[in-house]
Amino acid sequence: MADTPTYWDYLRLPQLLDLQAGLGTDPEAIGHDELHFIIVHQAYELWFKLAISQLRLARDELARPTVDEETIPHVVHHLRRVIEIMRLCVDQFAVMETLTPQDFLDFRDKLMPSSGFQSFQMREFEILLGLEDMMRVTYGKVHPLEHIKMLAEGSPGGAMAWGTISQARTEVNLRSALHAWLYRTPIQGSSPGDQGDEAVVKAFLQEYLDKGRERREAQLARLIEVSADAAEGLNARFAAQETANEEWLMTEDPRLRRTRAAALFIESYRRLPLLAWPRLLLDTAVELEEQVVLFRTRHARMVERLIGRRVGTGGSSGVDYLDQTTKYRIFTELWAVRSMLSPRSALPKLRNPERYGFREV
């Protein structure tokens, strides 16, 4: 019967269920609450493993030098799975929260200095999404990843921890793949390499800004009409927004300018048949990041409920540190576009609309 597959052998249940003893070898030596703590964390790590593999699949497809329209649904499919995993991870904190603050204190001290901060899979996930080193909040005086590197030296799982992070840093991330793909989007019917493409892109952006400005001036006038005493502040706020929009869209870097223009173009003309999947891809990337931000926010609230504002087992300022990480944004271009998007009635006239119909097969 040795070759007969069984549920327990296929899933390696004897091995899996023998991994909850913490640092000791006797599962009986840990209490029920600690068992709960270990299992919840292990369940998260399993979900992270799956999310990372799906993310790599999506990244690989999107990072190809040319991406057919047929490929985008696959990319969206894999990313949607990551979104659902993250949604589940957000909800799973409710299970962790059934631990009371005092029950946690019974075994918390022995965990020091280990911490979820050292979840190398979470770091791998962030890096593969496109979180850059310089975007991270420092951890005490050191960079968070350097802190993990220091801990990895000499620890039994250290080679795997640091090896995983180092490997992820050598790979193309989803943000870069998305940018490279966006860059190639036809804008007003013009593609990179077409004659006069840069001028077409600039003209599109200028028209977009001009039409948007007219609308915003009308909005400003309406606001001042009802609250004249706030006029000074309103004028300054609208002017600052106008300058920010202009500087952002008309950036000196032609590659970035085209990439941003493409995000704006897809969001603006999202009803065009050829943009149906591209816009879903952008929606999916934003939703994914929204779930990651919700994960960070939900974790911080759970931590506040369990340990208040004390220092974390990993040595950070605890909730203050975690709240700062909720500011991270990876798909910055996609978020920024939302501040300057115009309604359909105020869009620049679409040029070469025939390029955006469905292809004949």
Q: Which is nearer to ligand HEM, 151 or 322 (CB)?
A: 322
Q: For ligand HEM, which is the closer residue by CB, 79 or 96?
A: 96
Q: Which is nearer to ligand HEM, 258 or 299 (CB)?
A: 299
User: In the bound complex, what is the minimum distance in angstroms from residue 28's beta carbon to ligand HEM?
Assistant: 22
Q: Are 113 and 313 in contact (CB under 8 A)?
A: yes
**Residue 122 interacting with ligand HEM (CB under 6 A):** yes
Return the bridge partners of 139, or none.
142
Least distance between ligand HEM and beta carbon 312 (Å)? 2
Residue nearer to ligand HEM on the CB measure, 53 or 339 = 53
Residue 121 in the binding site for ligand HEM (CB under 6 A): no
CA dihedral angle for residue 34, residue 37, residue 42, residue 48, rounded to 10 degrees: -160
Count of other CB atoms within 10 angstroms of residue 288: 22
d(CA 184, CA 310): 49
Straight-line distance from the first to the last Cα atom of the chain, in angstroms, rounded to the nearest whole number = 53
**Residues 92-111, mask of contacts with ligand HEM (x by CB under 6 A):** ----x--x----x-------
Q: Is 44 in the site for ligand HEM (CB under 6 A)?
A: yes
Can you tell me which of 21, 35, 38, 40 binds ligand HEM, judged by CB under 6 A?
40
Buried b / exposed e along 179-205 (16+ C-beta atoms within 10 A): bbbbbebbbbebebeeeebeebbbbbb
> Which DSSP state fits 311?
P
- Judged by phi (left if over 0) then psi (alpha if -120 to 50, else beta), residue 202 lies in alpha
Q: Which residues touch 217 (CB under 8 Å, ≥6 apart)?
A: 238
Output the smallest distance, CB 13 to ligand HEM, in A.
22
Handedness of CA 104, 105, 111, 112 (dihedral sign): positive
CB of 44 or CB of 356, closer to ligand HEM: 44
CB 283 within 8 A of CB 227: no
Question: Taking CB under 6 A as the criterion, which residues in 300-319 touch ligand HEM?
Answer: 303, 306-307, 312-316, 318
Size of the chain in residues: 361
- Residue 106 tokens read as 């019974």
Cis peptide before 192 (omega within 30 of 0): no
User: Which of these segments, 7-15, 37-45, 165-173, 220-228, binds ligand HEM (CB under 6 A)?
Assistant: 37-45
Query: Which sign, positive or negative, has the C-alpha torsion 344, 345, 351, 356?
Result: positive
In the list 30, 260, 299, 342, the residue contacting ligand HEM (rule: CB under 6 A) is: 299
**Minimal CB distance residue for ligand HEM:** 312
**Binds ligand HEM (CB under 6 A): choice among 30, 62, 85, 117:** 117
Q: Which lies closer to ligand HEM via its Cβ, residue 175 or residue 299?
A: 299
Counting contacts by CB under 6 A, is residue 130 touching ligand HEM?
A: no
Give the one residue of 67, 261, 264, 322 binding ligand HEM; rule: CB under 6 A.
322
What is the sign of the dihedral through the CA atoms of 271, 272, 273 and 276? negative
The reply to whether 115 sits near ligand HEM by the rule CB under 6 A is yes
Please, what is the minimum distance in Å from the beta carbon of residue 107 to ligand HEM? 10
- Scanning 3-11, 57-65, 115-123, 244-252 for contacts with ligand HEM by CB under 6 A, the matching segment is 115-123
Q: Which residues bind ligand HEM (CB under 6 A)?
A: 40-41, 44, 96, 99, 104, 115-117, 119, 122, 144, 299, 303, 306-307, 312-316, 318, 321-322, 325
